[in-house]
Structure 1
């Protein structure tokens, strides 16, 4: 393999969790066929420590194609591997998850990185808004369900994020690559390279 075909790392960063103890080391890489998001997350949920490793692959249009998640805790290890096709059909270990049909994005509950997917895919102009259906991976059990969301671009670097019919709202700041810099009350970026 020549060096021109190797994935190119565009950004590495660390997020700090503000709502409870935790942090994440994250990398964004560009491939010839799309994008790779990887992260290692350490969080405390309901007083218990959890470690999550994930790798997420998208196509060139930022639509999710493959997701691998490993969660470790005192209860042991849990794994989840999902893949999606161009028609937004999803599979887990060869079984189609029919309820997720039509979801172009994944949303992994323990990281702000997956907000980048609809932000990049939708490419909204300032003032525009869009509704999306995401395949939401919950923590800590790694169950998956549909989560309706809405993104509104408020400025070149700020979005209003809403989910569950507006019952949750947050204003999210992002960098030029659409990666979160500040997401109150959840996360803030504390270190970055490649910018």
Structure 2
């Protein structure tokens, strides 16, 4: 899975520095992810390579997400592979918080600040960093959710509440799903039961 990694090597990634690289392991089903958080003068880049099983089928996905200095999502590129079939998704966000898929607006995403990838824990970092909640504070957000296994696009109401310096309660769909997320100093997931746990990471 090299297409996204090669694409960014001569673009924004070449002028950025890697703050942390890590591997997450999926807890309930087979799967893992190699991930990098990178910083540049214009903002942040999240890049991951994911392999997982979904609905009894093997999948592989490469993605890169670009955010501005305020952690607002500005662009997302995803390549999904399954059984020899490749599917690509490119989203961009303009200054009016309108989301575009090619030349077509995604109207249900208008006003959304964060993308949420259903196949990765990395995107929890975006609202965690953007909201900068104090301990005891909570905030409702609506994410632009990219679902598996078809990369369909829907909105997802969410709520983040900061419980301690490093732990957040995450709720979605009006509290029908609730989890506590442990994070590191970059706001990256350490543990997100029942979904993901960190296996290893670079120091820093």
Segment drifting more, 163-172 vs 79-88: 79-88
Consecutive unaligned residues of structure 1, counting only runs of 5 or more, are none
- 3-state SS of paired residue (1:155): coil
Task: State whether residues 136 and 145 of structure 1, in contact with CA within 8 Å, keep that contact through their aligned partners in structure 2.
Answer: yes
Spell out the pairing of 1:97-116 with structure 2 (5 A cutoff).
97-116=106-125
Matched, 1:159 2:168: yes
The count of residues paired between Structure 1 and Structure 2 equals: 192
Could you tell me which of 52, 61, 66 is aligned with 1:43?
52
Give yes or no for the alignment of 1:120 onto 2:129: yes
SS of the residue 2:95 aligns to: coil
Q: Does 1:55 align with 2:64?
A: yes
Q: Which runs of 4+ in 1 moved over 3 A?
A: none
* TM superposition shift of 1:96: 0.8
Q: Distance in 2 between matches of 1:86 and 1:193?
A: 34
Deviations 1:25-59 (A, max 9, x none): 00000010100000000000121100000000000
2:203 paired residue number: 194
TM-score, structure 1 as length reference: 0.96
CA contact (8 A) 1:19 1:185 kept: yes
Output the CA distance in 1 between the equivalents of 2:49 and 2:185.
Answer: 22
CA RMSD of aligned residues (A): 1.2
Q: Does 1:28 align with 2:37?
A: yes
Deviates more, 1:75-84 or 1:65-74: 75-84
CA distance in 2, matches of 1:161, 1:39: 22
Q: Secondary structure at the match of 1:99?
A: helix
- Inter-partner Cα distance in structure 2 for 1:194 and 1:32: 22
The structural deviation recorded for 1:14 is 0.1
Superposition deviation, residue 88 in structure 1 = 1.2
Q: Check whether the contact 1:10–1:194 (CA below 8 A) recurs between aligned residues.
A: no
Please identify which structure carries the higher strand content: 1
Q: Counterparts of 1:165 and 1:188 in 2: how far apart (Å)?
A: 25
Matched, 1:17 2:11: no
- Scaled by the length of structure 2, the TM-score of the pair is 0.92
Give the secondary-structure state (helix, strand or coil) at the position aligned to 1:189.
strand
* CA distance in 2: counterparts of 1:56 and 1:187, whole angstroms: 20
2:149 counterpart residue number: 140
Q: Which of 173, 184, 191 is matched with 2:193 structurally? A: 184
Query: Using the alignment, how far apart are the partners of 1:80 and 1:46 within structure 2?
Result: 21
